Amino acid sequence: MTNSNDIKKNNNVNSSNGHIEIRGNYNDQLGDIDKEDILDVMGCKTRRDIINLLREEPMFVSEISNELDIGQKAIIEHLRAMEDIGILNSSYKKILRGRPRKYYDLQHEVNIHITINKNTFDVNLSDDMLNTLQLPSGDEWSKLLDIEKRIDAGQLEAIDELKNQIRLYGNLKERAEYILERTLKGR
């Protein structure tokens, strides 16, 4: 049987002898992030919740603790584990009174692609966002799904909300294209 230490040392485990093949695409830009560590983080709901909070803005321990209603000691352990493997970054910021606070944020974006079939368990990590389909944030996606559900239920007034969403994203797209064109022209 292959244990996790063998997997970390060997990028390919042959499946012909009954083992599951585990392959990985390691990208130098990701530093030393190990796919086993990523899977460990993603397997913990509290850590996923912390990552979800930090997508919005950097936060310090007590903010995260209050938001998730979990003790600070536990939050610190989760943050330390994620910082140790390179998913999170931390920095100190001065406040008006008291000692500086340690804020945590996402260091960079990591994409995890997992393929599971009869003979393969393939985990690829990358941070190449230019080649990856971008979906709206969770809140925006939920809003869109809610509008779709309401339209499917016959609430036709939701069509106006959908038109507003389309207009909003159209305006954002136009502005982003303008900024890109202006920037490329200036080079």
Q: What is the pLDDT of residues 35-47, one digit of tens each?
A: 778 788 888 999 9
Residue 3 clears pLDDT 60, i.e. is over it: no
Residue extents of the structural domains in the chain: 4-127, 138-185
8 A C-beta contact, residue 54 and residue 89: no
Give the pLDDT band of residue 61 (cuts 50, 70, 90). Answer: very high
Look over the chain and give the mean of its residue pLDDT values, rounded to a whole number. 75
CATH classification number, 4-127, choose in 3.30.450.20, 1.10.760.10, 1.10.10.10, 2.60.40.2470: 1.10.10.10
Residues 6+ apart with CB under 8 A from 119: 15, 20, 21
DSSP-derived 3-state class of residue 71: coil
Residue 142 clears pLDDT 80, i.e. is over it: no
Mean pLDDT of 23-30: 41
Residue 22 clears pLDDT 80, i.e. is over it: no
Mean pLDDT of 71-100: 89
Q: What is the pLDDT of residue 79?
A: 94
Nearest CA to 78 out of 125, 40, 113, 33 is that of: 40
Give the pLDDT band of residue 71 (cuts 50, 70, 90). Answer: very high
Q: What is the pLDDT of residue 25?
A: 41
8 A C-beta contact, residue 123 and residue 114: yes
When computed from its CA atoms, the radius of gyration of the chain, rounded to whole angstroms, is: 21
Give the pLDDT band of residue 32 (cuts 50, 70, 90). Answer: low
Rounded Cα distance, 132 and 112, in Å: 11
